[in-house]
Amino acid sequence: MFSGRCEKTVIIQLTYPRGVPLEDRFFGNANIFSEGEKRSLVSFHPDLYKYWETTTEITKPIYAGHKGLKDVTRMQLIDLNLWLPGDILMKADKMSMAHSLEVRVPFLDKEVFEIAQKIPASLLLAIGTTKYILRKALEGIVPHSVLGRPKLGFPVPLKKWLLTPMGDTILQQITESGVDQWIQLNVVKEMLKQHRMGTADYSRKIWTIYIFSLWHSMYIKQSIFRQALVNS
């Protein structure tokens, strides 16, 4: 089964013009920056580039290990191996369980997963709705008023937030976090400028950089500061 965002992505990929291999165009739902964007955003640092991996290099072993399967299944495997453990389980499910909510984990039950694996690819997607199989399975159990409504995820209005003074606060915190040794701040400033002009939606990109800057400020910059106090 797919999440709402994932279903839309799969449909787009399956209708992609022929000639471009799946391995070169689908890297999962956690893929935020293109390789070109990463190269322009990240400051040159020998230690960083020493361990640099492109998105294609990360997904290549998964694709190589599952040749012959349908494209839908191979796309699922990319997200199962990368997006699920590295993003949505780590974030949404940890935060929801911290508030006594079970969001996704029940669907990872071994028996549920084994049944889901057997669902044919032709039934995994349905134009005009999301979670088609799950909705059908719960007919007569869950009220139609709930079952028939559009999927409601957990997005926050990042796009709008960046148009307000909050955007300035986010940029200031990024600038003062000490990430300038890793991140080209002029590129971040240009992203916010273009976002506010309506040229493109840079909200997920800026938010990703912002979260990294908060982590860096809390665990790297403060650690260096404390060590400097000890040495003095």
- pLDDT, tens digit, for every residue of 65-106? 999 888 888 998 999 999 888 888 888 888 888 999 888 888
User: What is the residue-averaged pLDDT of the chain?
Assistant: 85
Same domain, yes or no, for 114 and 170?
A: no
CA distance linking residue 94 with residue 100, whole number of Å: 10
Query: Is residue 19, in this structure, part of any structural domain at all?
Result: yes
Same domain, yes or no, for 140 and 210?
A: no
CA 229 to chain CA mean position, Å: 38
The pLDDT of residue 180? 92
Query: Is residue 52, in this structure, part of any structural domain at all?
Result: yes
Same domain, yes or no, for 163 and 139?
A: no
Same domain, yes or no, for 122 and 182?
A: no
Strand partners, 139: 142
Strand partners, 142: 139
Digit-coded pLDDT (tens) for 192-214: 999 999 999 999 999 999 999 99
Query: Which of 121, 147, 173 lies at the terminal end of a domain, its last residue?
Result: 147
Q: How many domains, in total, are found in the chain? A: 2
Give me the domain span that covers residue 175: 158-231
Same domain, yes or no, for 126 and 205?
A: no
Helix, strand, coil % (nearest 5) of the chain?
65, 0, 35
Same domain, yes or no, for 93 and 122?
A: yes
Same domain, yes or no, for 103 and 199?
A: no
The pLDDT of residue 141? 95
Q: Under DSSP, is residue 183 helix (H, G, I), strand (E, B) or coil?
A: strand
Query: Is residue 152, in this structure, part of any structural domain at all?
Result: no
Query: Which of 127, 147, 167 lies at the terminal end of a domain, its last residue?
Result: 147
The pLDDT of residue 177? 93
**Radius of gyration in angstroms for the set of CA atoms belonging to the chain, rounded to a whole number:** 21
Query: Which of 147, 181, 208 lies at the terminal end of a domain, its last residue?
Result: 147
Q: What angle separates helix 71-78 from helix 55-64, to the nearest 10 degrees? A: 120
Same domain, yes or no, for 52 and 108?
A: yes
Residue 123's CB is within 10 A of a number of other CB atoms, namely 10
